[in-house]
Structures are given as structure tokens and as C-alpha cells.
A and B are shown apart, each in its own frame.
Chain A
Amino acid sequence: MSSEIELKRLEQRAFRDANQDGLMEILMGAVFSVASLAWLSPAPAWMPGLFVIFGPLALEALRKRFTYPRIGYVRLRQEPPKRPLLGVRSVPLGMAVYVLIVLGAWVLLLAAAGDVRDASLWRKWCPTLLALMLTGGFIYLADKSGRIWVYGWIVFSIALGVACSLLNFQRSYAAVSAYCLVMAVVFLPCGLVKFVRFLRNHPIRVEEGSDVGQ
């Protein structure tokens, strides 16, 4: 129905406007940077997890400081999808199904590449698994933002994952670390450029400092 398409576009525009500050990309870049380091040394293996837990809190604090005074605040809808994905209505269940499909595809890939029980083979193809997992996030982002170029991220991410898997690294997990490093190198500057442009294009007008409203 055309009216539903228009409402979808309206929702996508709200999503894009709410995320135009580049802070999400900076956070992702930070997570990838820490993950890249964490894969190389056993000690800080929990650090990316900390970023994932506290990242949204930091993001909200930064947005309170920089974003909301400039473009206002919006809370996007978090309701379950009306159209079932793969026949599944619940979001967590849908994610579980997606993870199972990806793991299944990855095991098939390992079987094609050699002995599935070989741990070194698992480590070698870890970047591809990570890229496939991230694909779900990118698909969600593409749907929410309505931006077709997000699919470019998917192509880039999978190509990078496969390339890192095929290269021969000396250290264990160096391949997945390299994957995270390249992703961080791409995401961080993108986010910083977006953030600086956002600050430039949306100065705080004096009367906007407080929302008078009524």
C-alpha cells in the first residue's frame, strides 16, 4: 500500500536524522579498535564486551551534550515487526534463527575448506564468521535508514572477512584482529568527519538551547 510506503519513508527519515551525528560510527570504530587489540592478547578479551555494554550509555551522554541541543530528541519505535522475517515475528527469535543460519553456513564453509574439527581452521575463518554476523546488523541498518549504500558495507565487510581468512598470518587470531583493525580504520574517520560536519551544519541557536514549546 502506497501510504504504508510513505510512512515507512517517514520513519526512515527520522532514523537518518536521529543518527546523522556520526557518533554511532565513532562508537563502532572504537569497538572494532578495542576488539582488534583484544584478539592479539588474551588479557583484555573482555574489553570489547565492556564497550558493547557501556557504549550505548556513552553514546547517550554524548548525544545529550552535542546532538539533542542541535536537532532535538526523538525516540524511535521499538515494536516487533509487522511483517515476519523468515516466518518469525519475535526479534530475539529472529536473531537466534539468523545466528543459527550463519553458523550453519560457516560450518559448511569449514567442511569445504578442510577438516571441521581442526581448531586452526576455525581461527583462520573467524573473520568470515564475524563478517557474516555483522551482515545481519547491516541489513537491519539498511532497512531502518532506507539507504541503499549500506549494502556496500555488507559487500566490503564480507570481502574483507574472506580476504583476511585467506591471508596467511603467523599469530593465532591475527586474521580476525586485522579484520577488526581495517573496520576500525574505516569507521572511525567516517564517524569523525560526519560528527564535525554535523557540528558545523547544526550550530546551537540561542533560542534553541531550551525548548520553549508551549
Chain B
Amino acid sequence: MSANEMGKEDLQPIADIDRIIHEPARLMILAFLYVVESADFLFLERQTGLTRGNLSRHAGKLEAAGYVAIEKKFVDKIPRTLFHLTDKGRQAFRDYREEIMQVLGRLPD
């Protein structure tokens, strides 16, 4: 199938991709939280390589979408910001993964 043969219906799955997740920084955060139970700010920062400002901003967007839960607490008088994926976020990540693989699988060589 050539690119010209792809009609609107073929392109629709691309338009349906979750734009909250379809951003490299947010995708990194979600992918990492998908494989762990929870992580704090410092660990997430080191794993993703994002700056503090970027991590805060993108995590905030994911929280607003209901994909990530952010819990702030004190452990031995030291503040700890814990992130973990919500059930909605886990399902959204799974759906995104399936969608993106389907879209890429349908593209011509």
C-alpha cells in the first residue's frame, strides 16, 4: 500500500492518538512509572534525564489528565514527592502502545 492509497479512514488512527501521552517527556515519565510501583522526584529526574522544571511541568499535566498521582509526604522530616501511575494512566499507556504499533504497522515501507 502506497502513501497515496491511504485515505482519511487510514489516517484517522493517527489523529486519535492520545496527545497527552504523545510527547517524548511525558511518554518517558509514563513508560518509567509503568514498570515500577512508584518513584520519587529525584529518582524520576535521574531516570528520565529531564530538568526539574520540565519534570514538574509534564508531571503536572499528567496529573491533571488523571494519569499520574502525585503524593507529597515527609519521611524523617525530609519532603518526598512520590509519583505513581493511576489505573486510568496504566490503561491509557496500554491503549497508546497498541494504537501507535497499529499505526506504525500500517505505514508503507
Contacts and interface: CB of A to CB of B under 8 A. Distances in A.
Q: How large is the interface on A (under 10, 10 to 19, 20 to 34, 35 or more residues)?
A: 20 to 34
Interface in A38-97: 64, 68-69, 71-78
A3 interface: yes
B39 A73 contact: yes
B43 A72 contact: yes
B101 to A, nearest CB: 7
A73 B36 contact: no
Contacts of A213: 41, 56, 70, 72, 79, 81
**Per DSSP, are chain B's interface residues mostly helix, strand or loop, or mixed?**
helix
A209 interface: yes
A214 B60 contact: yes
A210 B80 CA distance: 7
B22 interface: no
B93 to A, nearest CB: 10
A24 interface: no
Given A3-B97, A3-B101, A210 B36 contact: no
Interface string B77-102: 01111100000000000000100010
Interface stretch (B2-10, B13-21, B44-52): B44-52
Contact of A74 (B31, B38, B56, B75): B38
A202 B45 CA distance: 14
A214 B70 contact: yes
B76 interface: yes
Nearest to B28: A10
A11 B72 CA distance: 24
B79 A71 contact: no
A142 interface: no
Given A3-B97, A17-B47, A75 B79 contact: no
Contacts of B59: 214
B109 interface: no
Given A10-B31, A10-B32, A78 B37 contact: yes
A-B CB proximity, top 6 nearest: A72-B43, A72-B42, A213-B81, A11-B35, A75-B37, A213-B41
Interface of A: 3, 7-8, 10-11, 13-14, 17-18, 64, 68-69, 71-78, 208-214
